[in-house]
Structure 1
Amino acid sequence: MTNLLVSVWNVEHGSSVYAVTPNGRKVFLDCGSSSEFSPAKEVNSTYEKKKLDYLVITHPHRDHITDLEFVEEKFNIKVIRRNKKITKDVMLKDNPDVFDPPNDKIIERYFKLSDRFTKNVEPDEDPSNPSWGNGCTFHSFNNDDKELGVNNLSVATFIEFGSETILQGGDLEEKGWLELLKDKEFREHLKKTTILLASHHGNDSGYCKELFDYFTPKITIFSAGSYVDDNSRKKYEAHTKGITVRSLSRGNEDRWVLTTRKDGHIKIVAYPDTSMEPKITID
């Protein structure tokens, strides 16, 4: 395989992105699920565990980690990226009832998993190394100030391959984005971004006008549940170039904003040939 494959799963109100690099490395960015759909089971329907090269958990809110049980059951996880500044105390300050049933088991599972991963990453396992995925790299950033709150401590990750850069930012809100914009390296990656997975499910609270001083995405994608903020949608559309998307039911159509609520699972193929546009398919 020579292409980068990315799936933005429809997990209702939640977040789960699965990527397979050109040399077969497997990556999850968040692991949300719905009552009827588990991304981990979808990509590994066998009883035998497969290797998961990289797991990014933007932040441990329930809708970003409900599939964690099956990720652990279906995969041997090699490397985890999370923000260690998000402690139980930080979680409790933001969400006093977070450890009360039925949330306690899911959140506790996250902290137990996080505590197991303490070793330094070996060079061959480092997703920012170009040889890790035939030129495909993953670069993650996060704020450190606990006073920003859990959402604004979300890990933001750039997936870069060929001429495409995909940005996923968890539940970052305006204040968190503005803090990250102070980082020169973050800004340099931002300038290359071509596909935006809008933070906080496309809600207005995740919109930050200043981000678009650095890039104009070809497409913006909302991982959204039953509600889509139309005011926010219009804001993102104003900053987005638009691209032709292949609908399995309607054929080709020009789109600016896609939502998992309306469009189902969203598949992205990025090519090593920098003259080729990405192929985007919706259910």
Structure 2
Amino acid sequence: MVDCGFDAKRGWFPSVVYGGQFIDVLVITNLDEDHVEDLPYVWDRVTLGSIYSNPSVTAAALATMKREHGMDEGVRQAHAILSRFRPGHLGKMADSGEVSAWGYSNRYGLDFTDTNNLSVAALVRWGMFTILFAGDLETAGWRTLLHNPAFVADLATVTVFVASHHGRANGRCEEVFEIVRPQIVVFSDDRKQYESQETDAWYRQRVSGIPVLDAVPSGMLPKKRHVYTTRRDGTLTIQVDGTGRYIVTPTRADPPSALRLLGLLSRPAA
């Protein structure tokens, strides 16, 4: 599980959907409220094998960052967990077979003192498929991570890029897209309310896209999708096979094809 916010409008709460189940690892990419709103209830109702957060953000560091605006319920629970245990990896390392997950992050105090640029850039890989969840990293945070050669090498393998800061303009970084050429970008976001959300065109120019599996007349190239957003597409399910091929299925789809899409990896695994 990557983060544990909820969507009250749609009635979607991870503590309800996964209540009573076992989660190998919960990755908290960002210690802002929208990323941990449901954490108190996930903590009570879901069995967590382990938790991973930025190793440099201690309970004291989190309290300092939240001093001005205070802590809501989710952040208070995160603070309690950090106080009782410690930051970084907590619990038993998950045995996920051929699936591997790891993260990169900037250092509190040395690099940044704001939660966004201390977000974990989390990668999940199975075979030739790699997806990146970037939390709320802003341009400066990206540029600092690019000083890490290991991060740069892993960035070059990303197939699906979940845009940082919900696709907001301040999460873009040109230098990142000089290294990575994902097939699609995903925005996890609410309805458009601000000019900073108008970034679809910027990302579309920097990804290769995947074909729409629809009825295509003979001799014509299929349409492509480059950017997905929960605003338009609803919940997205990505099914991946062992060769790296994957299908994206939105819950809100344009008839008649239900916008089922297939991506084929164009680069070898790292």
Instruction: Give the structure-2-normalised TM-score.
Output: 0.79
Question: Number of paired residues?
Answer: 238
Q: Which has the higher mean CA deviation after the structures are superposed, 141-150 or 211-220?
A: 141-150
Give the whole-Å Cα distance in 2 for the aligned partners of 1:246 and 1:224: 25
Unaligned stretches of 5+ residues in structure 1: 1-27
Among 159, 182, 190, the residue aligned to 1:225: 190
Give how far 1:141 is off: 0.9
Per the alignment, residue 7 of structure 2 pairs with 34
Per the alignment, residue 76 of structure 1 pairs with 47
Per the alignment, residue 135 of structure 1 pairs with 98
Give the whole-Å Cα distance in 2 for the aligned partners of 1:237 and 1:44: 34
Residues 77, 255 of structure 1: alpha-carbon distance in 2 compared, 3 angstrom cutoff: same
Per the alignment, residue 168 of structure 2 pairs with 203
Residues 74, 38 of structure 1: alpha-carbon distance in 2 compared, 3 angstrom cutoff: farther
For the Cα contact (< 8 Å) 2:55–2:89, is it kept in 1?
A: no
Per the alignment, residue 111 of structure 1 pairs with 79
Instruction: Give the counterpart letter for 2:119 in structure 1.
Output: S
Among 246, 249, 252, the residue aligned to 1:281: 249
Give how far 1:41 is off: 4.2
Among 202, 207, 215, the residue aligned to 1:235: 202
- Partner of 1:137, secondary structure, is strand
Give how far 1:222 is off: 0.4
Residues 121, 69 of structure 1: alpha-carbon distance in 2 compared, 3 angstrom cutoff: closer
For the Cα contact (< 8 Å) 2:39–2:78, is it kept in 1?
A: yes
Give the whole-Å Cα distance in 1 for the aligned partners of 2:198 and 2:67: 30
Instruction: Give the counterpart letter for 1:236 in structure 2.
Output: Y
Per the alignment, residue 171 of structure 1 pairs with 136
Give the whole-Å Cα distance in 1 for the aligned partners of 2:39 and 2:134: 19
Identity %: 29
- Partner of 1:133, secondary structure, is coil
For the Cα contact (< 8 Å) 2:167–2:197, is it kept in 1?
A: no
Give the whole-Å Cα distance in 2 for the aligned partners of 1:91 and 1:246: 46
Per the alignment, residue 261 of structure 1 pairs with 231
Deviations 1:224-282 (A, max 9, x none): 112274642211111011113579xxxx96211111111100111111124x3x10000
Give how far 1:185 is off: 1.1
Give the whole-Å Cα distance in 2 for the aligned partners of 1:196 and 1:104: 29
For the Cα contact (< 8 Å) 2:142–2:176, is it kept in 1?
A: yes
Per the alignment, residue 25 of structure 1 pairs with none
Residues 77, 55 of structure 1: alpha-carbon distance in 2 compared, 3 angstrom cutoff: same
Deviations 1:119-159 (A, max 9, x none): 9767xx435xxxx3232100111111435221000011111
- Partner of 1:239, secondary structure, is coil
Larger helix percent: 1
Larger RCO: Structure 1 or Structure 2 (Cα < 8 Å, ≥ 6 residues apart)? 1
Give the whole-Å Cα distance in 1 for the aligned partners of 2:59 and 2:89: 23
Instruction: Give the counterpart letter for 1:32 in structure 2.
Output: G
Larger Rg: 2
Give the whole-Å Cα distance in 2 for the aligned partners of 1:239 and 1:152: 22
Does 2:192 match 1:192? no
For the Cα contact (< 8 Å) 1:92–1:98, is it kept in 2?
A: no
Unaligned stretches of 5+ residues in structure 2: 215-221, 252-270
Does 2:66 match 1:66? no
Instruction: Give the structure-1-normalised TM-score.
Output: 0.76
Deviations 1:39-61 (A, max 9, x none): 4245335xxx2221101111211
Give the whole-Å Cα distance in 1 for the aligned partners of 2:188 and 2:18: 22
Instruction: Give the counterpart letter for 1:196 in structure 2.
Output: F
RMSD: 2.5
